[in-house]
Amino acid sequence: MSNQASDNNKRIAKNTLLLYFRMLLMMFVTLFTSRVVLDKLGVIDYGIYNVVGGIVAMLGFLNSSMSNAVQRYLSFEIGKKNDDGVNRVFNVSLLAHTGIAIFVLVAAEIVGVWYLNTYMNIPFERMDAANWVLQCSIFTTLFSIVQVPYNAIIISKERMGIYAYISILEVVLKLLVVYMLSIGNFDKLKLYSVLIMMVSICIMMIYMFYCAKKYKEAKFRLIKDRCLLRQIIGFASW
Alpha-carbon gap, residue 44 to 123, rounded angstroms:
9
DSSP 107-169: HIIIIIHHHHHHT----GGGHHHHHHHHHHHHHHHHHHHHTHHHHHHHHHTT-HHHHHHHHHH
* Identity of the amino acid at 22: R
pLDDT of residue 107: 84
**Of the candidates 150, 52, 146, the residue with the CA atom closest to the CA atom of residue 101:** 146
pLDDT of residue 71: 79
In the chain, the DSSP E strands lie at none
Alpha-carbon gap, residue 60 to 141, rounded angstroms:
9
Where b means 16+ CB within 10 Å and e means fewer, 116-130 reads: beeeeebeeebeebb
Element (H, E) at 18: helix 2-41
pLDDT of residue 4: 57
Q: Please answer whether residues 165 and 26 qualify as being in contact, where contact means their C-beta atoms are separated by less than 8 angstroms.
A: no
* Identity of the amino acid at 147: Q
Alpha-carbon gap, residue 94 to 112, rounded angstroms:
25
Q: Please answer whether residues 217 and 87 qualify as being in contact, where contact means their C-beta atoms are separated by less than 8 angstroms.
A: yes
3-state secondary structure of 226: helix
pLDDT of residue 198: 92
- For the beta carbon of residue 64, count every other beta carbon within 10 angstroms: 12
pLDDT of residue 238: 63
The residues, any chain, with a CB within 8 Å of residue 75's CB and separated by 6 or more, are 156
Rg (CA), the chain: 20
The residues, any chain, with a CB within 8 Å of residue 62's CB and separated by 6 or more, are 100, 145
Q: Please answer whether residues 235 and 69 qualify as being in contact, where contact means their C-beta atoms are separated by less than 8 angstroms.
A: yes
pLDDT of residue 115: 85
Question: Tens-digit pLDDT profile for the chain (238 aa)?
Answer: 455 556 666 777 777 787 788 788 888 888 888 888 888 888 888 888 888 877 656 665 666 667 777 878 788 888 888 778 888 888 888 888 888 888 888 888 888 888 888 888 888 888 888 899 888 888 888 888 888 888 888 888 877 778 788 888 888 898 888 888 877 677 888 888 899 889 988 998 998 898 888 888 778 777 777 787 777 777 666 6
Alpha-carbon gap, residue 220 to 230, rounded angstroms:
20
Total residue length of the chain: 238
- What are the boundaries of each domain within the chain? 2-237
pLDDT of residue 202: 92
